[in-house]
Amino acid sequence: MRNLSWCTVSLTAVAVTSVLVAYLLGGSLDPTARDPDIDLTTVELIAKYGYPAESHTVVSEDGYILTLHRIPFGKKSPGKTKRQPVFLQHGIVSSSVDWVIMGPEKSLGYVLADAGYDVWLGNSRGNVWSSKHVTLHPSSAEFWNFSWHEMGIYDLTAITDYILRRTGQEKLSFIGYSMGATMFFAMASEKPEYNKNFNVMIALTPAMYIKYCISPMPKMFAIAGKQLEWLSNLFGVYQILPHTSLFTFIGRHFCSDGAVTQPICMNILKLNMALNNKETNTSALPLILGHAPAGASIKTFQHFGQNINSGEFRKYDYGEEKNRIVYGSLIPPKYDVSKITVPVAIMYAQNDIVTDPRDVAKTKEALPNVIAYLKVKDEEFTHADFAWAINAKSLVYEDILRLLRKY
């Protein structure tokens, strides 16, 4: 069985049992529900809502072909004046669409563009928009031999260089969501010369320390990482949660308004994607599943699982024998976060099952230059809400705008 996961299996179970449930309850599966935004790419979505949209290609030092999406200005701030670039990096198994999927006034990409910023949206290697390499084929094990470490030291450095060169600016601002923040911290500690290129780094629910994570997918790798790695090599499966038509089908037919199975769908997504009943627009579930998940390497989840077990922010653990060759020690070294000199603002949520407040507090204490430490005022706010919450603008994005204006 290829590319299976907790979320895939759970949602497939919904599809298999939903017909029977609908029959017993006398309800409908709502097979005609269709949001046209489901079928649009990130650039097409941006253009549909009247914003300028661009697609750019960046090649990393180690050969990965990365796609960047850009909103150079907003509808409320048109013109050709030179604007401050802001780079947004999504979390694991996500893509650039996360920053625009909820539409104008509700998605951070549009909010920043309308506030006068030049908005750049990243796509991490291995996701649906960055799945090519100059020499390696995506079916090979070599292609998928990376985690967020390589995404940080190779992808973010190449993207930073590209944005500054393209815009002619000396610095940019960075917003990293979950793994996006992890990538930045790896880069800024391993490539400290890049610290000077950033005005400020805003870490949304940063996944640097994740000892107390209880989200099913990373926790599964913490518990059975070696066994899952063995199975991965046995079956030649190195990618996890690629986007397929199955997710789109399930979202459209079983999670839409009017479908009797929508509550089941919501509960499964709440468990796997850390959704919040109060802040989730259930009408948007088919749209979300039309674009997410977007794929990641198994090694990326394995790396997070290792850090859950160690309770530290460490490099990838290859096992004692290979660690001795790669690192010169039996255990992988910790990242030297004392080298991170960029001003860092941290935003976190009390109800987060991925980055527990205790882990975020450890992140705050470890970093040398934290200039803001903000808890979302809604006590029920959780991990996915930073991207998809109904009230994300008032609860999160307005604070981001204040920080950007200050730094």
Where residue 232 sits, what CATH number does that domain have? 3.40.50.1820
Spatial distance between the Cα atoms of 280 and 205, rounded to a whole number of angstroms: 18
> How many domains is the chain built from?
1
Spatial distance between the Cα atoms of 18 and 127, rounded to a whole number of angstroms: 29
In three-state secondary structure terms, 173 is strand
pLDDT of residue 241: 87
In a domain, 260, yes or no: yes
| Model pLDDT for residues 20-62, shown as the tens digit of each residue | 344 333 444 444 446 788 989 999 999 999 999 999 999 999 9
In a domain, 371, yes or no: yes
pLDDT of residue 55: 98
- Which of 120, 122, 118 has its CA nearest to residue 72? 118
Residue ranges in the chain modelled with pLDDT below 50: 1-33
pLDDT of residue 34: 64
Amino acid at 334: K
Reading the block at residue 211, the tokens are 């000892």
In this prediction the pTM is 0.91
In a domain, 91, yes or no: yes
In a domain, 186, yes or no: yes
Spatial distance between the Cα atoms of 105 and 334, rounded to a whole number of angstroms: 40
In a domain, 1, yes or no: no
| Domain boundaries, position 286 | 6-406
What are the residue numbers of the active site?
178, 352, 383
